[in-house]
Structure 1
Amino acid sequence: MKVKYLLVALLALTFFGCDENTGSLGLGIFPDGDQNINGRSAKFSVTTESTLSEAVYAKTSIGYVGKFSDPMFGFYECSFLAQLYCPEGITFPSVYDKDTNPKGIMAGDSIHTAELVLYYSKYFGDSLNACRMSVYELNQELNAEKFDYYTNIDAESYKGDFLARKAYTAVDLSLSDSIRNDDDFIPFVRLTSDKIKELGEKIYTTSKQQGSFDFESFKKILKGIYVKSDYGDGTILYVDQINLNVAFRAHYTDSLGNVIQKKNGQDSLYYTTRTFATTREVIQANQITNDKELLQSKVDEVEHTYLKTPAGIFTRANLPLNRIAEELKNDTISGVKLTFTSYNQPIVDAFSMKAPTTILLLREKDKDTFFKDNKLSDNITSYITTQEYKSGLNQYIFPNLARLVKTCLTEKEEAKKAAGGTWTAEQETKWEADNQWNQVLLIPVTIQYDNSSNNSKNIISVRHDLQPSYVKLKGGKAGETDEKYQLDLEVTYVNFSGKQ
């Protein structure tokens, strides 16, 4: 075995990254004897096209509400459904009466008020844009076993009785600077109405009658809420949590539990609440509506492709697997690199959308099961990358898709074996189309890491990016007939043929 060729092959492997992506691929087992081993590279053309994402799976703890219109992609509008959770065994204190119940602390046999508070830590768009939201009860219960978390849910079909309406701006200037700039301050929209107070009274009365309260009892009173924007264009709120606070008055007590009649010369009364909130135990689902006509016009542009969120446009890449299988059938693939380069993105104003940061490359046939099954990228059929800046270019680089190529080629070989001697060219073409065999999608995503104290970052969730972003990429459907719109798939392989 000639060492110089082995070094060439190893250098080729190093060039494409000594990372976990190569997995079980690489050089494999070398033939015995003094044979040439050639490390080589080749480029194969990749065509791309834009495709509507349609509805996406969006099981998330964040509720999006508002409307935003963009000159390039048109409007998109967000609303959401949410259940509120009731902790098991929640109770209200008994009513104080100096003669019959001196150990009680509740002042009066009724609540003081009730309110819905929507907390949001982030928003997109104009902070001072005038907006308004309406909140409705749900007219039917959300069934956790049957519920569909896709963004095309028909939220209006769940709309029940009107609860409240509130005008707001993302930054509430009615609050002082000292309050808004406090580290512990979380922006909110607070809604009150007679109807919300009635719900609070029903909750209190039922809890008192039953002795305690649970989630099933709570759902009979409030199945959930529907939050929608009914005025304003230019702001989207990212609602992290919703609280239904049922407030009542109570007496201060001393260390023995006796009610204090006076405290510092004043009546010993204070206000406290029982809170029912959105949590991970209950359903929260977003409806996202886009300007489909304008989105389709962008998809129809053939000299580039787009990525657009939320639930807008993906980019499809058609991998040249058949050519690779034919031309490198006697070789061992060690590296497969694919780069997507974006065009410079003009910043029109402060509310212009930025390019998505994190991209998932995924086999198209897996686009639904990947997110529904809460899968993580495995560097075999799914890969994560982040935007890189290189030589003044913005790029999304996938340094080694070798395991993806091997998986696809092996999958086809197994299908041929299963067909036995009946595998025809027509059957092969149909099988490739039915299985979307050579097609991968670029999908903008958000990722969540664990909270481990060590320096390693372990991904614990990958979800569709539901925040507004877009990027225009080089490529496009015109590449089917014009090579200047094609991308290069750079393949490094090891050749044992002895040819130079």
Structure 2
Amino acid sequence: MDFKRLILGLAFGGILLSGCNDELSQVGPSIQPDGDRSFVYADTFQLEASTIKLDSVYARTVNGLLGQIYDPLYGNLKTDYICQFYCPENYKFAHEPIDGKVDSMAFFIMYDEGGYVGDSLAPMQAKIYQVTKPLARNYYTNMNPEDFCDLQTLIGEKTYTAYDLSIPDSIRNITDTSDPDYYTPNVRIRISTDIAQRFYDETVNNPSSFQNQEAFNKFFPGFYVTTGFGTGNILEVAQSSFFIYYKYKSTTEAGKDTIIHTREQFNVTKEVIQMNQIENGNIEQLLEPNEEFSYLRSPAGVCTKIVVPASAIKEKIGDRIINGLNFSMKAMPQEEWLYAFEAPDNVLLLPEDSVQSFFENNKIEDNVTSYLATFGEYATNTYSFGNISSLLQVHLENKPDEDLNLILLPVLRGTQNSSSSWGSSGKPYTTSITNYMKPSGVRLKKDKEAMQIVVLTSKYND
């Protein structure tokens, strides 16, 4: 059998060098016995591609998006989020506020330098509402804030721009994170002091509310963070936190009385729930019948569906062994208008009926039933998935009479460098795949030539 595989390998190399055709090729007649000849086939088939609506995506993350932006091609995108906060077990204030009174409370939306899409100077308004009902563990982006919040009671608001002109370059240029003046871009929103005082009073009068996370969530279900007026910018939120500020009495080393200003801090962490809401508008033009392009847009919005004629392939190849099926999608150049969306760096290809379980179970590509492609990794403006023949083979084994429906959608790939035998960093490998939450969009070619595939199969004449 090893000899046969060697001959087949040489045959496939010859086919790839000489071009694809549908004719049977007999391999090695001069060196193989008559009863042990191998045959290689190259059959051409036509795929179908279309753009379909993607109402929501699974987004279990502590990161969020906040804002609204309009793109002439990809339509309107509005984003906001609801979040809980992590509370240590048996929490209490580190110090006793003077006279049992706190001073103020503020909510912080923190993001990285350049962590936004759109016009950095577009005036935006952030608004905060208190969550009044326990959050359900639903991480899909079509949640309805009205199910959890009292939207008639505003507890904080702030007008901001993503690039804060009040911060001087001397502060922005500080790179030492231990420097007390180190600047992290943020939107600071003052919250009603009544909420902060009620929070402290609860720690004194009903400490069981802070016994564990479940008890804390019932007492303090969280915040809904959204926008009011303004469009043209979306923040990529890296961290959400609130601070309660107060003063307490202390003594100096010399024994003199002094007053210390301090704060208590609560953060959104992976242990608690954050739910992102994505609203898409004006995307009808992407869904219209189109012979030239299909579309990808994130977050949610639309994705590309690909139909592989599996039943016709099965009828054509019979019981031959599937050896090769290279697949790629050619992307068109990006639009050139101001703040045009960028193409997503990574896209995932997998069966339509496995999308939900893939993300909910935190899977990564296995190159059997799911494949990852990086934009332009092997060719300009191309997502190349390589040989996806295993995907077709698995489908034919389970559903030989049905066509194979695949979904292509943008993802965020987490990586880690592998170690080489020489001690240096090797090629990165995937550690996580999640739905891509950054605004992006790309047109993919779907004309007849772009949608042709060649299936390489083999058969032994035993």
Taking structure 2 as the reference length, the TM-score comes to 0.85
CA distance in 1, matches of 2:6, 2:430: 36
* Corresponding position: 1:443 with 2:436: no
> How many equivalent pairs are there?
429
Q: 1:199 aligns with which of 178, 195, 198?
A: 195
Partner of 2:63: 62
CA distance in 2, matches of 1:2, 1:39: 16
User: C-alpha deviations, 1:393-437, integer Å up to 9, x for none?
Assistant: 411112111111110110025xxxxxxxxxxxxxx5xxx3xxxx5
Partner of 1:487: 451
User: C-alpha deviations, 1:325-360, integer Å up to 9, x for none?
Assistant: 1222242211111121122223212x1111111010
For the structure 1 residues 83 and 49, does the alpha-carbon distance in structure 2 shift closer, same or farther, using more than 3 Å as the test? same
CA distance in 1, matches of 2:376, 2:284: 28
Q: Whose strand proportion is higher, 1 or 2?
A: 2
CA distance in 2, matches of 1:13, 1:315: 32
**Offset at 1:108?**
4.0
SS of 1:365's partner is helix
- Which structure has the greater CA radius of gyration? 1
* Corresponding position: 1:137 with 2:130: yes
Q: Tell me if structure 1 keeps the 8 A contact 2:68–2:233.
A: yes
SS of 1:446's partner is strand
For the structure 1 residues 309 and 2, does the alpha-carbon distance in structure 2 shift closer, same or farther, using more than 3 Å as the test? closer
User: C-alpha deviations, 1:11-61, integer Å up to 9, x for none?
Assistant: 527998xxxxxxxxxxxxxx9975222344332211111111122222221
For the structure 1 residues 153 and 33, does the alpha-carbon distance in structure 2 shift closer, same or farther, using more than 3 Å as the test? same
SS of 1:231's partner is coil
For the structure 1 residues 261 and 299, does the alpha-carbon distance in structure 2 shift closer, same or farther, using more than 3 Å as the test? same
CA distance in 2, matches of 1:254, 1:278: 35
Q: Which amino acid aligns with 1:347?
A: E
Partner of 1:424: none
- Segments of 5+ residues of structure 1 without an aligned counterpart are 17-30, 96-105, 263-267, 414-427, 477-483
Q: Which amino acid aligns with 2:55?
A: E
- Segments of 5+ residues of structure 2 without an aligned counterpart are 17-31, 178-182, 420-424
Partner of 1:20: none
For the structure 1 residues 273 and 397, does the alpha-carbon distance in structure 2 shift closer, same or farther, using more than 3 Å as the test? same
User: C-alpha deviations, 1:366-388, integer Å up to 9, x for none?
Assistant: 12121122222111111111112
Partner of 1:230: 228
* Corresponding position: 1:305 with 2:294: yes
User: C-alpha deviations, 1:114-166, integer Å up to 9, x for none?
Assistant: 211111121111111100010000121113xxx32211111133222321000
Q: Tell me if structure 1 keeps the 8 A contact 2:329–2:450.
A: no
Partner of 1:98: none
Partner of 1:406: 393
CA distance in 1, matches of 2:218, 2:434: 32
Partner of 2:366: 378
Partner of 2:117: 124
Q: Which amino acid aligns with 1:491?
A: V
CA distance in 1, matches of 2:141, 2:332: 29
SS of 2:357's partner is helix
For the structure 1 residues 275 and 94, does the alpha-carbon distance in structure 2 shift closer, same or farther, using more than 3 Å as the test? closer
* Corresponding position: 1:465 with 2:436: yes
Within 5 Å, which residues of 2 pair with 1:19-98? 34-93=35-94, 95=96
CA distance in 2, matches of 1:83, 1:494: 57
User: C-alpha deviations, 1:39-95, integer Å up to 9, x for none?
Assistant: 443322111111111222222211211000111122110011111121112222454
**Offset at 1:449?**
2.5
CA distance in 2, matches of 1:450, 1:87: 30
Within 5 Å, which residues of 2 pair with 1:271-420? 271-291=261-281, 294-303=282-291, 304-349=293-338, 351-388=339-376, 393-412=380-399
For the structure 1 residues 39 and 452, does the alpha-carbon distance in structure 2 shift closer, same or farther, using more than 3 Å as the test? closer
CA distance in 2, matches of 1:384, 1:390: 13
CA distance in 2, matches of 1:133, 1:165: 5
CA distance in 2, matches of 1:2, 1:382: 29
Q: Which amino acid aligns with 1:51?
A: I
Q: Which amino acid aligns with 1:396?
A: Y
SS of 1:326's partner is helix
CA distance in 1, matches of 2:95, 2:3: 87
Q: Tell me if structure 1 keeps the 8 A contact 2:411–2:436.
A: yes
Within 5 Å, which residues of 2 pair with 1:119-268? 119-121=110-112, 122-143=115-136, 147-160=137-150, 161-183=153-175, 184=177, 185-193=183-191, 195=192, 197-210=193-206, 213-214=210-211, 215-253=213-251, 260-261=255-256, 268=258
CA distance in 2, matches of 1:76, 1:187: 23
Partner of 1:102: none
**Offset at 1:390?**
6.0
For the structure 1 residues 36 and 308, does the alpha-carbon distance in structure 2 shift closer, same or farther, using more than 3 Å as the test? same
**Offset at 1:495?**
3.2
SS of 1:289's partner is strand
CA distance in 1, matches of 2:53, 2:15: 35
For the structure 1 residues 244 and 6, does the alpha-carbon distance in structure 2 shift closer, same or farther, using more than 3 Å as the test? closer
**Offset at 1:204?**
1.6
Q: Tell me if structure 1 keeps the 8 A contact 2:35–2:461.
A: no
For the structure 1 residues 149 and 377, does the alpha-carbon distance in structure 2 shift closer, same or farther, using more than 3 Å as the test? same
User: C-alpha deviations, 1:446-479, integer Å up to 9, x for none?
Assistant: 1113587764534232111111111111116xxx
Q: Which amino acid aligns with 2:227?
A: S
**Offset at 1:301?**
3.4
Taking structure 1 as the reference length, the TM-score comes to 0.79
Q: Tell me if structure 2 keeps the 8 A contact 1:2–1:35.
A: no
